[in-house]
Structures are given as C-alpha cells and as structure tokens.
Structure 1
C-alpha cells in the first residue's frame, strides 16, 4: 500500500510540475500582447530582452511597441520608462526599465522590485 501511495504521489508531483512549466514557458514577444494582456508580459519579457529588440530604437518606437507609460503599473521614473513585467513567483514584482540617451534606447534591464 505504501508503495502505491508513493508512486501516486510521485506521478502527481511530476504532473503538477509539467503543467506549471507549460503554463509559464516563455513566448515570443508581440506588441499587441504586451499592451493588451498584462498576464502575458512575464512570459514575453525574456524574448524582448534577450533578442535585444529595443537596442538603439527611438523613444517613439518604444511607445509604439510597448505603449507609453502612464498611470497604473507602468510609469516614467527619472526619465526612464518602467514597465511592469510580472512577479518573481514569490513576492517581488519584476520591471522592464528602458533608459534613453538623446531620445534613443541606451539600456534595457529586467529587474526585481
């Protein structure tokens, strides 16, 4: 009996981890998805940053791609555009920070709260 319970527990854990991994996998960045569905941002931010999609683009281009930061979770702090990019899965929020120099993207960082 203990052996069956152990096997059943193992199968349940593997299934749970598989479902979690599938639901939280990275997906390709899309401008429409980023702007319209905040729940997609945590899964898109890796693609956006690792493929350097914002490097050197204009402020206007960033606003077309990500939306203009305004009230709510996205904002402008000390000239940087700061976009909410999900949570770390525990307690901290994650942010996408876009820094400009002469109206062009100079730095993009995915940072915790």
Structure 2
C-alpha cells in the first residue's frame, strides 16, 4: 500500500496502527490527521526510537496489504464493484442489485 491510502482513510487505520505500535493513542492520531512527518515524529517520541528506525518500520508496514476493514469502507464500494466487473458475465451490470446473484434463469417454483 502507499501512504496516500493511509492518509485518505486515516481513522480507518487506527486499529492497524495501534496493533503495530501499541504506544500510539487515538486522540493523538486524531491530531496527526494523516500527516506522515508528524506521524513519524510522534512515533519516535512515544516509542523512544530514532526517527530513522521508525521510517524503516513504517516502510515495512506499508509493504503489507490494506486492512480489510479499510477496503470494506463504503468509500471504496464503487471502486471495488468496478474492479469486480471482470468477474461478471458479459451483458450483466456489475452495479445491479445482487440479491439474486447466481439465480439467473432459475425458474424452479418456491417451496413456500
């Protein structure tokens, strides 16, 4: 992932940040508001590490995947739906209601 993913969805990353750096506090993260330099400085202060060490840890952390709760955020819905279009049969609309997904042409009577 790239820093802009983190910055654009800053509050959604709080859980992942606190998991990686348990010394971090949500209130402080609110004030940082996705500013990478401020975040590195903050982590150096609360962990007692050098900023270069924090930069390296952050670089390694960014190599990971975007957490699923961030990907599932409604902000990403249309993008995720559009990406799913490659799995939708030709002639079907990837934005259509999927309540009957997989039931196309199913003419069996209901057992109600």
TM-score range for the pair, normalised by the shorter chain length: under 0.3
* Higher-strand-fraction structure: 1
Q: Could you state the TM-score of these two structures normalised by the residue count of structure 2?
A: 0.23
Radius of gyration: which is bigger? Answer: 2
Normalized per residue, the structure richer in helix is 2
